[in-house]
Amino acid sequence: MPVVQTRQLTRTYNPDTIPVHAVRQADLCIEEGEFTSIVGPSGSGKTTLLNLIGGLDRPTSGSVHINGTDITGMSDSKLIDFRLWHIGFVFQHYNLIPVFSARENVAFIMLLQNRDKDEIARRTDELLDEVGLEKRKDTRPAQLSGGEQQRVAVARALACEPKIILADEPTANLDTTAAMNLLDIMTRMNREKKVTFLFSTHDQRVIDRARRVVRMLDGAIVEDSCHEG
């Protein structure tokens, strides 16, 4: 069963005035363990497609299935709950809670899931260790570098044990060293733990690591190729 399946997925903004066809009839299938980049110039629709897959935006038509579940017609409350348990997010601007430490940012997702406190503590420590922040667990985002903040975001995305992690331009604000360190971590988790990653990016550093590249232009998928990243 595919982790992600979109069928004729379409998103049109301002349909009654001057329509903007952000995504046009996109058919995409992502299997478990893939490391895939959606690429294209600004305005090509890659971020919109990622947001539709993640349930952060609603399609005009078509459908999105996550691990066999159709999320297209879900109510807002059901969609929020579904995302909490099945989808991890990594954003360009980190989106960490500034008054929380790294530890608290990662634990927060599991608190929302009402997990056991001992399990939360154990898993939080494990995840921060895995992303190389074992000495920065009690540090707030403002005292962390951009690369460190994004590693906290990756640990947070992994906390709910999602079916897929959606990463929107995760390296855009990072220098080369921080970006490569982050990509090393995500590549290792993909290969060793079979974590499924789907990126929206124009960063060649990310594209070079991907084993599959989906290219978009003017809202449409125009190329879908596999190679060893």
Residues 6 or more apart in contact with residue 22 via CB below 8 angstroms: 11, 12, 13, 45, 48, 219
Judge whether residue 96 has pLDDT over 60: yes
Number of domains in the chain: 1
Q: CATH number for the domain including 190?
A: 3.40.50.300
Backbone φ and ψ of 172, nearest 5°:
-60, -35
Question: Which domain does 213 fall in, by range?
Answer: 4-226
107-162: pLDDT as tens digits = 999 999 999 999 999 999 999 999 999 999 999 999 999 999 999 999 999 998 89
Q: How far is CA 211 from the centre of its chain?
A: 16
DSSP string, the chain: --SEEEEEEEEEESTTSS-EEEEEEEEEEE-TT-EEEEE-STTSSHHHHHHHHTTSS--SEEEEEETTEE-TT--HHHHHHHHHHHEEEE-TT----TTS-HHHHHHHHHHHTT--HHHHHHHHHHHHHHTT-TT-TT--GGGS-HHHHHHHHHHHHHHT--SEEEEESTTTT--HHHHHHHHHHHHHHHHHH---EEEE---HHHHHH-SEEEEEETTEEEEEEE---
200 - beta bridge partners? Answer: 38, 168
- Could you give the CA distance from residue 104 to residue 93 in angstroms, rounded to a whole number? 18
| pTM > 0.85: yes or no | yes
Question: Which tokens hold the place of 111?
Answer: 């608190």
Sign of CA pseudo-dihedral 211, 212, 216, 219: negative
| Average of per-residue pLDDT across 164-183 | 93
Question: Which tokens hold the place of 199?
Answer: 């990126």
Residues 6 or more apart in contact with residue 49 via CB below 8 angstroms: 6, 9, 23, 26, 28, 38, 200, 216
| Average of per-residue pLDDT across 65-83 | 95
Residues 6 or more apart in contact with residue 128 via CB below 8 angstroms: 102, 103, 106, 134, 136, 137, 152, 155
pLDDT band at 228 (very low <50, low <70, confident <90, very high): low
Task: Tell me the percentage of the chain whose pLDDT exceeds 70.
Answer: 99
The closest alpha carbon to 150, from 164, 130, 170, 166, belongs to 170
